[in-house]
Amino acid sequence: MSEIKKQPIESPLTAPDEYDYDSSDDEDIRNTVGNVPMHWYTKYPHIGYDTEGKKLMKPDTGDQLDDFMAKMDDPEYWRTVIDPKTGQRIVLCDEDVQLVKNIVRGRVPDPNVDPYEDHRCQDLHLAARVVRHRVSMDPEDLLPKLPAPRDLRPFPHLRVLQYLAWPEEAQDSQQPLPITACSVDPSGQWFAASGAGGRLAVFELTTGYRAWSAQLESASEGGLVSAAWNPCADRPCIAAGGAGSGRVYLVATDRFDSHLQVLQLLDAQLHSVYDLAKLTKLKTLKPNARALSCLSVHPTGCHLLAGSLDSRLAWFDLDLACTPYKQLRIHTDGVRQCVVHPSLPLSASVSDDGSCLVLHSRVYADLLENPLLVPVKRLRGHQVGSVGGSGIVRVTACDFHPRLPW
């Protein structure tokens, strides 16, 4: 009998390791199935194909007892892993074990790689340090430079005339009710005033003579809260608004007699800008105020001054935005009336703090130039205090002469 040659039996621990050689060629890969899910071969006895197309049979992995014995006897068991493509047991070297530990601990896997290599930040780190000195600056230098008030004359600065609006009420035992609004006609000859008692009166501006007066509403209804002349001189009339009734009275003033031509409009409100010729709404202004109390349109029609009861004045550029171009908080109490001069760069506002503030408000023809708003004078001609049962006396109305600086 010929001698039987003993063939070495390959076991999972003695089988040649495909990682013993290093090659990047696809032909040297033992299992050529490619990057496919290995669970596709779970039901088959083979695990893939070699380079010649032959099936690669799954190695014998033993049972749980064999695995337990290997765990007890093999000192390299803790660093042994199974290759999912070949089913072989692979013993990790020290470098591979350290690589796994670095990944688990969140460190850089390869210790030979420095993630913080030198670049340009080192130049900043090694740069010479310079002592930074604090810049001494006057806070006033940060504010915009405004012209001095004396350079912006003329503007109102003295009281020269005082009107007695309701002489019949002054003769009674009770104190007269305050004036709520005033307005000068386009000719500059007449002056209209409305009162909290509901009376509307017209005076000659230069003499103070009361030419006409009428009771439009009762004091119990809240009286009148506003009065304004028609800016068109060829159609003289006065518009007055009632407080409690919500009516707007239009009084023709071509002659002052007892025959009044009155038009009543109910629920008149002012929130938006309308084109009366086209009967369309142009825009809605957003004054950013709690309670808008008054407004006045600039002669150009492109700017508007508005006051509110939270002591603010807002200047709108209607061609720029629906929000204020500039807000001024120069009163200590609510603003009751504001007015823009019809022909001069002046505007004024009166407040519950008992003062009238005059501003130089210049609008330039150059559209790239912003309007100039400078407070120039604060007038105080009234004493704030309690009068009878009418509450607090305050400055409630103001208006300009159509041509003169007062």
Q: 321 pLDDT exceeds 90? A: no
| Residue 340 pLDDT | 93
Q: Are residues 330 and 228 in the same domain?
A: no
Q: Where does a domain end: 230, 245, 269?
A: 269
| Residue 79 pLDDT | 87
Backbone angles phi and psi of 180, in degrees to 5: -100, -25
Residue range of the domain that includes 184? 153-269
Of 396, 253, 390, 283, the closest CA to residue 333 belongs to 396
| Residue 176 pLDDT | 63
In a domain, 203, yes or no: yes
Q: Are residues 358 and 263 in the same domain?
A: no
Q: Are residues 347 and 290 in the same domain?
A: yes
- The domain spanning residue 220 has which CATH number? 2.130.10.10
| Residue 230 pLDDT | 83
Under the banding of pLDDT at 50, 70 and 90, the label for residue 346 is very high
In a domain, 130, yes or no: no
Q: Are residues 280 and 265 in the same domain?
A: no
Average pLDDT, the chain: 77
Q: Are residues 402 and 278 in the same domain?
A: yes
Q: 12 pLDDT exceeds 50? A: no
In a domain, 12, yes or no: no
In a domain, 119, yes or no: no
Q: How many domains does the chain have?
A: 3
Q: Are residues 308 and 232 in the same domain?
A: no
**317 or 142, higher pLDDT:** 317
Do the beta carbons of residue 181 and residue 396 sit within 8 Å?
yes
- Mean of the pLDDT values across residues 382-397? 62
- Mean of the pLDDT values across residues 228-253? 81
Under the banding of pLDDT at 50, 70 and 90, the label for residue 90 is confident
Q: Where does a domain end: 226, 248, 269?
A: 269
Rounded to whole angstroms, how far apart are CA atoms 272 and 295? 12
- Mean of the pLDDT values across residues 207-235? 84
| Residue 389 pLDDT | 46
In a domain, 404, yes or no: yes
In a domain, 9, yes or no: no
Q: Are residues 222 and 179 in the same domain?
A: yes
| Residue 383 pLDDT | 64
Q: Where does a domain end: 78, 104, 130?
A: 104
Q: Are residues 298 and 220 in the same domain?
A: no
In a domain, 15, yes or no: no
| Residue 344 pLDDT | 94
Under the banding of pLDDT at 50, 70 and 90, the label for residue 277 is low
Rounded to whole angstroms, how far apart are CA atoms 338 and 327? 14
Least confident of 222-231, 275-284, 289-298: 275-284
| Residue 352 pLDDT | 87
Least confident of 240-254, 319-333, 334-348: 240-254
Token pair listed for 385? 């205090």
Q: Which contacts of 357-366 are long-range, i.e. CB under 8 A and separated by 24 or more positions?
A: 357/330, 357/331, 358/155, 358/156, 358/157, 359/328, 360/147, 360/149, 360/152, 360/155, 361/298, 361/305, 361/315, 363/298, 363/300, 363/302, 363/303
Q: 30 pLDDT exceeds 80? A: no
- Mean of the pLDDT values across residues 165-175? 62
Q: Are residues 299 and 386 in the same domain?
A: yes
| Residue 268 pLDDT | 32
- Kindly give the residue spans of alpha helices, DSSP state H, lying in 1-134: 64-73, 94-104, 120-126
Q: 18 pLDDT exceeds 90? A: no
Q: 358 pLDDT exceeds 70? A: yes
Q: Are residues 158 and 255 in the same domain?
A: yes
| pLDDT tens profile 246-271 | 788 888 776 554 444 443 333 333 45
Rounded to whole angstroms, how far apart are CA atoms 209 and 191? 10
Q: Are residues 254 and 206 in the same domain?
A: yes
Q: Are residues 242 and 371 in the same domain?
A: no
3-class DSSP state of 130: coil
In a domain, 115, yes or no: no
Q: How many CB atoms lie within 10 A of CB 348?
A: 23
